[in-house]
Structure 1
């Protein structure tokens, strides 16, 4: 029964003015995949493959962890998608041997920069203890990087030279972050750069 002071029109008006329940927001699959990839880059770079949590990745991406399996099949599938982003060595194209050595030394000395952007090589180093991640690292990063650099170097033993140079670059990260020796700290960059130059030049020019 309606109250004494309420008319049928009043009740209809109130009903029409009630806030409507919003319909569930449609999820954009492309945006969700990109959000998961962005969150995975951060997590894998922070902890490496074994330490990465799919729950953390999904939470940072603002979605349910089940969507990782939906879009990438598994954690290793997500890792493979992240590692597709091989470092682009095209900026080294056309450089003289000395210029190439200087550029590679810059890359090596920048490996321990915590403010740097996503770096798949750092992810690979932090994930090196994972048997599950090993083949992905080799096939999506290691071999493609060697092939890129070898094509730029040319000549005899180009693949081996490229592999050695990239090992020197990644070794600086291990020395500075994993070993954390005072002798390799940033305050010694000038001396380290000179030594890197000598080592890389010896590799690059060997057999020429």
Structure 2
């Protein structure tokens, strides 16, 4: 395709690839007057969108997240979210897919497991963390649209994985309680802003959380 720039009487040659215009070709004018066209790499664009989405969903939850901001942070047009993920909810599902990994807890003694779970609970309010799926789930809890995805990709898988780690009687129920304690600390500390659960109380909270988690874990020990 040739375009004539009447302001400077030069012909600009535009070479388009066979890719859809939905890829939003980027271009720049060379000194020679020819337009250099570059196509997006779909895999790179999708990964950039996922990375930006993790940050935005962590910051604002599902309902509060802005697809415009996600696309801007990824350096592309917001229409590409629909192209690659179908919709905002499709992008959310891709972010939350297979994000439950409690494997580092395997092989720990009961005391070590308690320490690790307490550390997890107290770190949920750490603003230095870029992406925490449990925090995303909590911040998205008011969204009916996101609920089933959180349940399918995070809630049930985390309970199943933790119950397989702790074992014993009523393992799924005890695992659910442990995860509820962890999420409850975040809600009380961040959402409710309770002073009694602030970071300044970490020493006391660490002791109390350790006691409660030990009690839950011990409830499944064989008699």
Q: Could you say whether these structures have the same fold, taking a TM-score greater than 0.5 normalized by the shorter chain as the test?
A: yes
Instruction: Give the Å deviation of 1:20.
Output: 3.9
Provide the rounded CA distance (Å) in 2 between the counterparts of 1:130 and 1:137: 10
Instruction: Give the Å deviation of 1:85.
Output: 4.2
- Relative to structure 1, the CA distance from residue 198 to residue 18 in structure 2 (aligned partners, 3 Å threshold; closer, same or farther) is closer
Provide the rounded CA distance (Å) in 1 between the counterparts of 2:33 and 2:59: 43
Bigger CA drift: 87-96 or 32-41? 87-96
The aligned residue for residue 112 of structure 1 is 125
Q: Which runs of 5+ in 1 are unaligned?
A: 1-16
Q: Does 1:162 align with 2:164?
A: no
Q: Does 1:181 align with 2:181?
A: no
Instruction: Give the Å deviation of 1:30.
Output: 0.4
Q: Does 1:171 align with 2:184?
A: yes
Provide the rounded CA distance (Å) in 2 between the counterparts of 1:120 and 1:202: 26
How many residues align? The count is 192
- Relative to structure 1, the CA distance from residue 173 to residue 136 in structure 2 (aligned partners, 3 Å threshold; closer, same or farther) is same
**Partner secondary structure for residue 136 of structure 2:** helix
The aligned residue for residue 52 of structure 1 is 65
The answer (yes or no) to whether the contact 1:87–1:120 under 8 Å persists in 2 is: yes
Q: TM-score by structure 2 length?
A: 0.83
User: Which of residues 84, 91, 101 in structure 2 aligns to 1:88?
Assistant: 101
Instruction: Give the Å deviation of 1:171.
Output: 0.8
The answer (yes or no) to whether the contact 1:109–1:172 under 8 Å persists in 2 is: yes
Provide the rounded CA distance (Å) in 2 between the counterparts of 1:193 and 1:174: 16
- Relative to structure 1, the CA distance from residue 160 to residue 55 in structure 2 (aligned partners, 3 Å threshold; closer, same or farther) is same
The answer (yes or no) to whether the contact 1:175–1:184 under 8 Å persists in 2 is: yes
Greater helix fraction, Structure 1 or Structure 2: 1
Greater strand fraction, Structure 1 or Structure 2: 2
Instruction: Give the Å deviation of 1:185.
Output: 1.1
Higher relative contact order (CA 8 A, sep 6+): 1
The answer (yes or no) to whether the contact 2:167–2:220 under 8 Å persists in 1 is: no
The answer (yes or no) to whether the contact 2:81–2:88 under 8 Å persists in 1 is: yes
User: Which of residues 132, 136, 143 in structure 2 aligns to 1:123?
Assistant: 136
The aligned residue for residue 204 of structure 2 is 191
- Relative to structure 1, the CA distance from residue 21 to residue 91 in structure 2 (aligned partners, 3 Å threshold; closer, same or farther) is same
The answer (yes or no) to whether the contact 1:85–1:120 under 8 Å persists in 2 is: no
Q: TM-score by structure 1 length?
A: 0.89
Provide the rounded CA distance (Å) in 1 between the counterparts of 2:163 and 2:70: 35
Provide the rounded CA distance (Å) in 2 between the counterparts of 1:18 and 1:203: 71
Residue by residue over 1:11-48, the C-alpha shift from the partner in whole angstroms, topping out at 9 and shown as x without a partner, is xxxxxx96242322111000000010011111111111
Provide the rounded CA distance (Å) in 1 between the counterparts of 2:115 and 2:164: 18
The aligned residue for residue 37 of structure 1 is 50
